[in-house]
Structure 1
């Protein structure tokens, strides 16, 4: 634990439930009817418009974005290839947090897996997996990043009786930078504490996380006990139940917004592919301008790639429409990129046109400025216009879960 950055966590408060009482409580299953009702899993309403929108999104990507992506080998720069499965995939909800904070029990409870062959193993030891791989240098952070990049909602779970922000959690929140809007904090096992102790732990949690989440509006925190059994006696049962329903509504809304998020993600991806194509085009043009009959190609190219600012390569791209400096890749990455892909193998954008297929640049710009925003507008126009204003107050119709059970 980095003591110089984080305040010392308060001593673990006493557990209120004795072992005898806990044995009785764990034999009484909690009613789950509110989960089915809030998530509207039993709805039979059709969702053909959703499937049609996904197919339209897939077509735009394949026709307007992927050709430039392949022509300029964008995936070798960013190492993120978008597949059809990623476009048409169902929502992904990610649970992160220290071991034994109740992640598996929460999943079992929400999905109704308790006492079924599909339930996740739960226990005090950190062995939540089907198998274990032991090897030198296993890339745990890279695996986490893969899931973080694709998750629609990220739950970071804490146990109030073992509250501690250590080095691993600090590294995790570094990986979550830029995804703050999708993060939710869960203070689980809240019925283990008296109300006064719970308030103290709630404040200590925010104090510990403040240096890690540098945003104007902090993530939503849900306080309850997410497991299949009854709450401990003499606890804030009504509060915990309301918090649980609020979390389910939040989860349902994120699922409902999945298509909008996919469109926004594909558009952002298209913007970065376009910028990459413009940069490669600019490198190729500069290389051709600098070359003469007596020039050494290797020396000319090394001069350009070592000091692109000297030739205004990146500054010239910023002068174009729909280009933000925050979307520009690291200029050092192009030294490695062209080390693998010789500059002579790329055509300029002006040569990337055909009579039947049109020009790559025009197609991707049309997708970014017209087609994808138009698809998003067509989806939004079919919604209840008062829904967004009622989300904060809880009024109006609940969102319909497009991933309901048929």
Structure 2
């Protein structure tokens, strides 16, 4: 799944039309200078070209969109699917989203826009955040969006679209201004890749950096191809990463429960005892004991304050120790997740890599040959 996000009228729908070669066909996504996309549009593979209503997509259990029903009927009316027999869509699904309008509140949309975006973000393999060089203002809606993208930085690609609408010198200034605007929102050592071009099937404006734009487009197609090729490996690596977090969480909760039981006596007040533990876990070596006894990295440990909130909602008395979660036939839960992290998932990853057929180079895969040429661009 490739997700397109960004402010209104920055060229998200035009970019989808361009990648699929839909421009000037009856099936192109509607585009314009004003905010035109008001729906979440899912473009997917099908035997014939047809439109699928959101209520049908949510009701069809064979599709992966049935969980979207939880966002209400108002949202399902703003969800539409388009099926078409396209070679690229056999390997990827595109999701075009309504543009962010800074002065519009969530309740004005009639459905929880940010929650819906989060649902798609959690399932996307690649996220294109598209900007127009003539309007780079960053407001509250965009700040909220980048907060939702936290932890997904490796999947984000920034697109500075409509780049041929500016002279080269102005474009350089805009490029710097974009990084300056986004720096507080993307707090990572290595910023996301930025592609600078005009992603639509018309020739570039004269007296602009045509060769640069062409190379940027080819790089983006190579990037997209690489993500598709590595999809299974990325999924397995993501599951393993999540498994490591679950294991650390289980070990920490177990340590809290064990410490609570050790400190409790017949005359103790349970609330006061546990409050002392949760307020100052270092006094009871909660986190240090996890590092000492297991192969957990100190950089993977969660924030200590998070467990004050966690146990505020989930009483410590509702948890059993991990040692009590073992059975003769089923084994221990912690051993199962440990085995999955250290043996099963790495073995699965290795088998996929070893069983892979030799792939064409990115240029051969995208048909660019020795002289880079855009197959959709008109001469």
Q: What's the TM-score, normalizing by structure 1?
A: 0.64
Change in Cα spacing, 1:279 to 1:405, as seen in structure 2 (3 Å) is farther
**Contact preservation (8 Å) 1:158, 1:186:** yes
Specify which of 208, 217, 221 is matched with residue 190 of structure 2.
217
More divergent stretch after superposition (340-349 vs 369-378): 340-349
The yes-or-no answer on 1:97 pairing with 2:29 is no
> Which moved further from structure 2: 185-194 or 234-243?
234-243
What whole-Å deviation, never above 9, does each CA across 1:219-264 have from its counterpart, x for those lacking one? 3222221124443455444443332222111111011111111111
Write the distance in 2 (CA, Å) between the matches of 1:204 and 1:318.
43
The gaps in structure 2 that reach 5 residues or longer are 46-110
Any unmatched runs of 5+ in structure 1?
Answer: 1-91
Instruction: Return the offset for 1:106.
Output: 0.8
1:306 paired residue among 279, 304, 307: 279
Q: Which has the higher strand share?
A: 2
Q: 1:335 to 1:217 in 2, by over 3 A?
A: closer
Q: Residues 93-152 of structure 1, C-alpha deviation per residue, up to 9 Å, x if partnerless?
A: 22222211111111122133445565433222224223999999x654444444334322
1:250-288 residue CA offsets vs partner (Å, 9 max, x unmatched): 111011111111111111111111112112211221122
| CA distance, structure 2, for counterparts of residue 263 and residue 403 of structure 1 | 34
Q: Deviations over 1:287-340 (max 9, x none)?
A: 221122222333323332333222211221122333133433333333443344
Label 1:164 to 1:238 Cα distance change in 2 as closer, same or farther (>3 A): same
Cα 1:239/1:308, change in 2 over 3 Å? closer
Rounded to whole Å, the distance in 2 between the matches of 1:231 and 1:220 is 22
Which deviations, in whole Å up to 9, do the C-alpha atoms of 1:354-400 show, x marking residues without a partner?
12211111111111111111111222223478999999999999999
Give the stretch that moved more between structures: 383-392 or 361-370: 383-392
Q: Whole-Å Cα distance in 2 between the matches of residues 230 and 404 of structure 1?
A: 7
Q: Following the alignment from structure 2 to structure 1, what is the Cα–Cα distance between the partners of residues 219 and 178?
A: 20
CA RMSD between the two structures: 5.9
Q: Which moved more, 1:271-280 or 1:318-327?
A: 318-327
Q: Which moved more, 1:381-390 or 1:208-217?
A: 381-390
1:196-233 deviations in Å (ceiling 9; x for gaps): 43344334434444454454443322222112444345
C-alpha separation between the residues in 1 aligned to 2:234 and 2:371?
A: 19
> Given the superposition, is the C-alpha separation of residues 328 and 113 from structure 1 closer, same or farther in structure 2, using an over 3 Å criterion?
same
Structure 1 residue 239 and structure 2 residue 212: aligned?
yes
Q: Which has the higher contact order (CA 8 A, sep 6+)?
A: 1
